[in-house]
Structure 1
Amino acid sequence: MLDKLEMFIAVAKEGHFGRAAQSLGITQPTLSTGLKQLEDQLGVQLVFRGSRYGGLTPEGQTALVWARKIAGDARQLKEEMRFKRHGLSGRLRIAAIPTALTWAAELAAIFTDKHPNVRFTILSRTSVEILSMLDNLDVDAGISYLDNEPMGRVSTEPLYEERYLVVCSASSPFAAKKSLRWQDLDGQKLCLLTPDMQNRRIINRNFESLGVTAEATIESNSTVVLLATIARGDWLTVLPEDIARFLAEGKALKLIPLSGQTPEHTVGLVAPYREPHTPVLEELLREARRLSAAKR
């Protein structure tokens, strides 16, 4: 039944029979047959069908919760058995918000130094995408905000408190400033992350709470684009301190602290709640705790 549950999960995730079959590396007739067999075994219809995918039935919505749990438990069993045979090994998939990619890289490097049989895949995603990927078992863990959007039942390990800096070129009129207020950015030429990024939504709320009219003329989901724009000389951006310092190192850019009453937001490691976690994921949570403590 496990392979049929994986088919069902893929269909629910993709919302399309052809794409679901392609993601699993099987033909669409094989997928359709597997879904029909699963429905026969459970005695209910799971998917509305017509000429195309029509969504999950109410029974399908309930079954999806169980399917994800069963598939997750099966994967955990495989991880446990691999640990018994080979110690910590395998591949960890992590999705991180763009402003936390330096932390993801450092965590992975430290972890693989200690456990060389573990491999990492690190992806850049929005906070909403990270939660969806965790639900769909597409990643093993995420690095995202812990206190700004509903997260459901997850295990978390705080990493750092996000503080903001203004980044400008060395030739900017702002470059000599020791600090800036959010109000000082009113009417300035800004390039910022796109609104689908939670970091941008936080920045927007800070502006709004202070009555600041700040509009980004250039938006991107890439911090590299923001820094390349600033290097032209007359643009400003706002970034969390850690990623700003990493990207600006060795460049003709200035970092200026932002002062004012702005709440700090916690960023941390997020993993699906399980008791117990797989050995490799449990060790990743411990390593995140050690890394956070070392940087305080």
Structure 2
Amino acid sequence: MLFRQLEYLVALSRERHFARAAQACHVSQPTLSEAIRKLEDELDVPLVRRGRTYEGLTPEGERIVLRARRLLADRDALRAEVGALRGGLSGRLRIGAVPTASGAVAQLTGPFCTEHPLVTVAVTADLRAEDILRQVREFELDAGITYLPADLPESFLAVPLYRERYVLLTDAADSLAPGASATWAEVSRLPLCLLTEAMQGRRVLDEVFAEAGVRPEPRVETDSVAALFAHVRAGRWASVVPHTWLHVFGVPHGMRAVPMTEPDRTVPLGLVVAAREPRSAPARALVELARRTDVAAALERLPED
């Protein structure tokens, strides 16, 4: 059994299409198909349900994919360990983040790249919280920055980074918006643009609105925090955004950022990695960095207007 065969099977599971899986592995489709057939012969079990098109993996295939992901992750961790012994940490660090945490990612990736110049970092910043946990568990990500639920499974190690709080973002000339602060009930009556209900960040907002006894009815929904800023700039909408994005954009010209009250609510976000050992060398280095970095203090400092 070759690692390459396992890579092909994992790619097929991810892409759910022979041609796309072959493209992702930089081989021809016949090469990928033949390698997977040989793997089936070697294991003496069918792995793929074949028809005129790809129909998914067999139950045996699904279980073997889980094993394959772990074997490939261990192989990559071994390579990184050997590389670190030879000439410093190297390889690739894959980080996923929920959209609301995008402003916090750079607080870790910047110092990390400075300390480990041979490591490349890939950030996917538009993932749902549940997808981050799944991809970390299935070794598709090395780490994630996401909301930290009270019932986080023991299979994850979490490093708290900061507590997210919220501000009303509105046009500076908006006569409908409140003054120095805004209650959640007042904000619910404004023409709102919010994240979609599929996003954990939106579900958190809905919980706070419900605590205030109201239900928002946004006219525009998006999966991008940057799009929220763009709609407010258009002058017709208001939005509720995490304070961390003010660290990225400041308060743009022509807008106001109004603190939200009644209730006062903050939500913990942090770095999550797989709890299993041995953890990959880049993931271990990122955890060490996160533990000694005051991300919360950095996110309170706003750029110049």
Q: TM-score, normalised by structure 2?
A: 0.88
* Residue deviations 1:129-165 (CA, integer Å, cap 9, x gap): 3334334544322211121786672222111111111
Matches within 5 A, 1:106-255: 106-126=107-127, 127-147=129-149, 153-173=155-175, 177-255=179-257
Helix, strand or coil at the partner of 2:278:
coil
Q: 1:208 to 1:175 in 2, by over 3 A?
A: closer
* Residue deviations 1:12-42 (CA, integer Å, cap 9, x gap): 1112112111111111111111111111111
Of residues 2-11 and 186-195 in structure 1, the stretch that sits farther from structure 2 once superposed is 186-195
Helix, strand or coil at the partner of 1:277:
coil
Following TM superposition, by how much is the alpha carbon of 1:4 offset from its aligned partner in structure 2, in angstroms?
A: 0.8
Q: Is the 8 A contact 1:177 1:256 kept in 2?
A: yes
Helix, strand or coil at the partner of 1:91:
strand
Q: Is the 8 A contact 1:89 1:117 kept in 2?
A: yes
Helix, strand or coil at the partner of 1:291:
coil
Following TM superposition, by how much is the alpha carbon of 1:5 offset from its aligned partner in structure 2, in angstroms?
A: 0.9
Q: Distance in 1 between matches of 2:277 and 2:86?
A: 21
Q: Distance in 1 between matches of 2:234 and 2:13?
A: 45
Residue type of the alignment partner of 1:115:
H
Following TM superposition, by how much is the alpha carbon of 1:200 offset from its aligned partner in structure 2, in angstroms?
A: 1.0
* Residue deviations 1:73-112 (CA, integer Å, cap 9, x gap): 1111111111111112233221211211121112111122
Q: Distance in 1 between matches of 2:250 and 2:176?
A: 16
Structure 2: state its 5+ residue gaps. Answer: 299-305
Q: Does 1:2 align with 2:3?
A: yes
Q: Is the 8 A contact 1:165 1:244 kept in 2?
A: no
Structure 1: state its 5+ residue gaps. Answer: none
Q: Distance in 2 between matches of 1:174 and 1:21?
A: 55
Helix, strand or coil at the partner of 2:294:
helix
Q: Does 1:79 align with 2:80?
A: yes
Q: Distance in 2 between matches of 1:295 and 1:150?
A: 25
Following TM superposition, by how much is the alpha carbon of 1:294 offset from its aligned partner in structure 2, in angstroms?
A: 7.0
Identity %: 36
Residue type of the alignment partner of 1:27:
S
Q: Distance in 2 between matches of 1:148 and 1:293?
A: 21
Q: 1:47 to 1:151 in 2, by over 3 A?
A: farther
In structure 2, the partner of 1:35 is 36
Q: Is the 8 A contact 1:226 1:237 kept in 2?
A: yes
Q: Is the 8 A contact 1:158 1:292 kept in 2?
A: no
Of residues 194-203 and 244-253 in structure 1, the stretch that sits farther from structure 2 once superposed is 244-253
Q: Distance in 2 between matches of 1:250 and 1:32?
A: 53
Q: TM-score, normalised by structure 1?
A: 0.91
Q: Is the 8 A contact 2:70 2:138 kept in 1?
A: no
Helix, strand or coil at the partner of 2:292:
helix
Residue type of the alignment partner of 2:23:
Q
Q: 1:294 to 1:263 in 2, by over 3 A?
A: closer
Q: Distance in 1 between matches of 2:295 and 2:144?
A: 19
Helix, strand or coil at the partner of 1:216:
coil
